[in-house]
Amino acid sequence: MGWPYQIFALDAAQKQARRQSLDRHAVYAQLSALIPIALVGLYRLGVWLVRRASPQRGAYSAVPASPALKQRRRSITGSFASTLRRIAWWLGDDVTFLGMNWGQRDQIIFGVSWTLWLVLLCVIGTGNDYLHLTKRFGIVALSQFPLQYLLALKSLNPIAFAFGSSHEQVNRWHRVLGWIIYILLLMHACLYLNFYVQEGILGERIVRLIPALGIASIIGMSLMNATALRVIRNYSYRVFFITHLTVAMLLPPAIFFHSHHGGRQYVIEALLVFLIDLIKRKLDTVTAPATLKLIPGTNLISIVASIPSSKASRFRKYPGMHVYLSIPAAARRSSVVSPAYLLFEFAFNPFTIASVNEETGDLILVARRHKGPMTKTLGQFAEEALDGAKIPLSIEGPYGCATWFPNLAGSDFDRILLVAGGVGATFILPLYRNQPPIHRCSLRQVISWHHIYFLTRRKSLDLRARGLIANENPTARVQMVWAVRKASDATWPAVNISEGILDDENIQLYLTGNILADTNDVPRLSEESEAVELTGDGLTDIGQIHKRPDLRKIVDDVFRQGVEERVAVLVCGPEEMARELRSYVGVWVQKGRNVWWHNENFAW
């Protein structure tokens, strides 16, 4: 069978019918995405209203060993629920091919399915009209622009609300839809270029404004998708971010003037969504004086920002939230016309809220100093502000999906496993402790903590700390695992919270670096201020401390205790750690266990 499409001229009535068909199928493409999302949102809103209107009664919660739970698990409903959990977990697994991570399985399946649906809408009803097919690819792609910009919103994201999520989690669908739109527009451009070649008018048309804007838009989208590749992002995230933001701002006006025959309404919708979110984010941004200090023996920076009391409650309400930090013009040291100055117009780095001072409302962040411009500059501020001088910083937020978390301190779960790697504890610790009152510790206390890490294995300073989860839900077995490269990397909680963590039997600390080398980082103290004595007995445990956590054993120990137990697993740390932990938890999910999983990361 040969190529069915032909190039031929149409009269005015036929052109009008083609225009109506183009507009109609573009509406189908847009509504087929927005209607299901709206229905889910209305359903969630209805459930919330019913719960608000219903009298609050204490619900019966059977103990894990209860025969009622065993009977429920073996029932048809229980088996169906277990099957759904297995499918949902399978869909959330990463797909690795040729040594590369291609995304999660649900992204690939949905992406392929949605692409096929949109291609069907591009083809159906076009007959053998080549230009109809060419234009259909373009307008169907444009119909997805408002949805694409909605998926990218940080502050006012109705899709995140509809699915009880956050913009970080919704953003992965933004990436999928971005590739789909790019493929459709690329097809539109290639078909049009072929039309110009077939008609012998290529040289004449590409220098005109409308085709030139189309070609420029495709080049911009190609650059945006190329810099979004993992290898580019790992090399320079700033290149990806600046390219992405620049193209996202220039693309709507370019396409608006390019699509003069139809589809401009979708560009206007996308632009309005972008502007509304930008205004809302500006209103949510506060510039606050901050004190920056280097944490001794580490590449960590403690940031304490004085938030206005009128906004402090927002940051305190939910533990585990994060903010976007930027450096305002008043704090920049370079010239206004210098590249370094302009770079910070595009620099917004996410940092988890480590804690909020209940008395003063101070916001406390912990940042790791890297080679990037943001953390490098913050490190310079910390080095220069030895006299306690305050630096103005712009703080946007809070953001995160902790607002949608189940009640970890309630009776929803029988076991809770919290895993943190490095500064990932800034997310995990507030969830575990729910931000108890905060005050400063002296340098003597900090150094004492540092020494004790070398001499004890999951043993403690007598600071009598206990997590809120364990207090509020005493029947739940709570375990927190915290892996750090060296002992000094775990000293920041001693600086930022009044109660210690070392005496908490639910917290396990692991040092994965060279412990003997770490002792060189600890300043010498006077005999009076030494917290412990370095003895031979103390050194016998160094080999046990100096190891990575055995995540397989930790997970198996959590799950093998009871078949009926409901388990929550939360992780924040390196991507490899989260992937390994998920693989071990997945074994038990496939056995039918009821697991709620959350991986907090800022991969994008």
Q: H helices of 54-166, where?
A: 67-74, 76-91, 105-123, 130-143, 145-151, 158-162
| Predicted pLDDT of residue 202 | 92
| Predicted pLDDT of residue 496 | 47
Q: What is the dihedral of CA 14, 15, 18, 22, to 10 degrees?
A: -170
Mean pLDDT for 9-37 is: 95
Query: What is the C-alpha separation between 444 and 526, in angstroms, rounded?
Result: 10
Q: Mind listing the pLDDT tens digit for each residue in 507-558?
A: 888 988 764 444 444 433 333 322 222 223 333 343 334 578 999 999 999 9
Confidence of residue 56 (pLDDT cuts 50, 70, 90): low
Mean pLDDT for 242-253 is: 88
Query: What is the C-alpha separation between 256 and 269, in angstroms, rounded?
Result: 11
Query: What is the C-alpha separation between 235 and 474, in angstroms, rounded?
Result: 46
Of 134, 583, 604, 34, nearest in space to 350 by CA: 604
What share of the chain in percent tops pLDDT 70?
Answer: 81
Number of neighbouring beta carbons within 10 Å of residue 471: 12
Q: Mind listing the pLDDT tens digit for each residue in 185-213?
A: 999 999 999 999 999 999 999 999 999 99
Query: What is the C-alpha separation between 151 and 140, in angstroms, rounded?
Result: 18
Mean pLDDT for 120-141 is: 95
Query: What is the C-alpha separation between 313 and 281, in angstroms, rounded?
Result: 18
Q: Which residues on adjacent β-strands are paired with residue 368?
A: 300
| Predicted pLDDT of residue 136 | 96
The total number of residues shown for the chain amounts to 604
Mean pLDDT for 455-483 is: 57
Q: Mind listing the pLDDT tens digit for each residue in 24-37?
A: 999 999 999 999 99
The DSSP annotation for 445-498 comes to HHHHHHHHHHH-SS---S-----HHHHH-TTSEEEEEEEESSGGGG-HHHHH-S
| Res 499 pLDDT > 70 | no
194-203, 396-405, 486-495, 525-534 — most confident range? 194-203
65-69: Cβ within 8 A, 24+ apart = 65/562, 65/564, 66/564, 69/564
Strand pairing of 349-356 and 322-326? antiparallel
Q: Phi-psi region for residue 293, left (φ > 0), alpha (ψ -120 to 50) or beta?
A: beta
| Predicted pLDDT of residue 516 | 46
Helix or strand run (H / E) with residue 592: none
| Res 575 pLDDT > 70 | yes
Helix (H, G, I), strand (E, B), or coil: what is residue 11?
coil
Number of neighbouring beta carbons within 10 Å of residue 203: 8
Query: What is the C-alpha separation between 598 and 572, in angstroms, rounded?
Result: 9
| Predicted pLDDT of residue 47 | 87
| Res 54 pLDDT > 70 | yes
| Predicted pLDDT of residue 445 | 36
Residue with the larger pLDDT of the pair 475 and 451: 475
Of 523, 355, 543, nearest in space to 444 by CA: 523
| Predicted pLDDT of residue 474 | 60
Q: Taking the complete model, does pTM exceed 0.75, yes or no?
A: yes
What share of the chain in percent tops pLDDT 90?
Answer: 38
Query: What is the C-alpha separation between 490 and 497, in angstroms, rounded?
Result: 12
Query: What is the C-alpha separation between 275 and 202, in angstroms, rounded?
Result: 36
Q: Across all residues in the chain, what is the average pLDDT?
A: 81
Looking up tokens 């013009």, which residue turns up? 329
